[in-house]
Amino acid sequence: MDFGTQGTKAPADLAWLRGVDAYTMGAYPQAEEEFRAAVRMDPGMADGWLGLHALRVDTTTALLRMFRHRDRFGEQRSRHRRSLNSWYWLGWWVQPVLESPRDLLLAHASHWLDGRHVPELDRALAGLPPVDTDSQVRFLHACRAYLVKDWEQLVRHTDPLVDDPMLGIEAGLFGGMARVRLEMFGQAEPLLAAALMRCRSEQPQRKELRYWLARAHEGTGRSAAALPLYRAVHRVDPAFMDTSARLAAIAEGDGYDDAADLAAITLSGAGGQDTVDGPDLLDPVFGAEGRDLRLGGEPEPPPAAAFPPV
């Protein structure tokens, strides 16, 4: 099927138009072919790279090329009055639309969270609007605080975000976890409980929210309240951090009736050690291809992954 209209437009623009038409109609292999042709003829066509990014084709290269040629981002869409957008990871779970120049700056900064490139991240953050003017910018600064284990800064950046419709769940998780790290268990409990109540069952944060809420309960001496949360985490991921060790320790210390059931649990760490402070575990988020999956059929987000252990 032929897409696009012929005329006096530049060949690269014609290829881009055919790519948009194909993408709109769900002809993704042809859309990829046309967008590739467009950027081959015009490597600085940021909107051509946007098309490939929307198709989840080598998203890292596409994002970096869009950023390099950000002065042209939106050029074809404006010239031909066509709509095209993609999505990106803001942090580790949030998936906003990639459409405007602001979105591109945020996506580029968030890209550097993948490999723990703190100097590159700092340079990208310096090019963003002030923290107080943009909640998503503030959230990226919170992610940086998480990476460098600055728990006080993480608390400060997440507090204004807990009621945000898009960022509130993860802000509650970050803020609650940071308070557990700071042994502010009483403050962590309501934050984590509220975020867990908002979190739909299919969202991956649920496991982390349960774990950190259990840690907060333990910190306030409420082991009985922590036990069912640890069990829920253990059911979906027996190797998650030190959940198995904490389950066994609670059962042994409090003499629960089902201690025999817990005897079969293989401890994942020595003596309840909190492995999040130890060596990094296998981390799907920071894997080389963790966010650059090429998906067949209609482009859609790849499975979300937990944020990396710190």
The answer, yes or no, to whether residue 273 has pLDDT greater than 80, is no
Helix 101-111 × helix 135-147 angle, to 10°: 10
Model pTM score:
0.79
Which letter does DSSP use for residue 71 in this model?
G
Which residues share a beta bridge with 98? 86
For residue 90, report the phi and psi dihedrals to the nearest 5 degrees: -100, 105
| pLDDT for res 271 | 33
| pLDDT for res 4 | 45
The answer, yes or no, to whether residue 203 has pLDDT greater than 90, is no
* Region at 150 (left for phi over 0; alpha for psi -120 to 50; beta for the rest): beta
| pLDDT for res 252 | 84
Among the listed residues 74, 65, 55, the one whose alpha carbon sits nearest the alpha carbon of residue 111: 65
DSSP 263-308: TTPPPSSSTT--GGGSS----STTSTTTT-PPPSSS--PPPP-PPP
The answer, yes or no, to whether residue 300 has pLDDT greater than 60, is no
Sorted by sequence, the CB contacts under 8 Å of residue 167 that are 6+ apart come out as 94, 135, 136, 139, 161
For residue 87, report the phi and psi dihedrals to the nearest 5 degrees: -140, 165
Q: How many CB atoms lie within 10 A of CB 47?
A: 27
Which letter does DSSP use for residue 88 in this model?
-
Among the listed residues 53, 25, 26, 23, the one whose alpha carbon sits nearest the alpha carbon of residue 39: 53
| pLDDT for res 194 | 96
For residue 97, report the phi and psi dihedrals to the nearest 5 degrees: -75, 140
Vertex 74 angle, CA 11 and 108, to 5°: 115
| pLDDT for res 37 | 98
The answer, yes or no, to whether residue 126 has pLDDT greater than 60, is yes
Sequence ranges of the domains in the chain: 8-84
The answer, yes or no, to whether residue 45 has pLDDT greater than 90, is yes
Q: Sorting pLDDT into bands at 50, 70 and 90, what band is 116? A: confident
Fold type of domain 8-84: 1.25.40
| pLDDT for res 133 | 96
Contact 217, 189 (CB under 8 A): yes
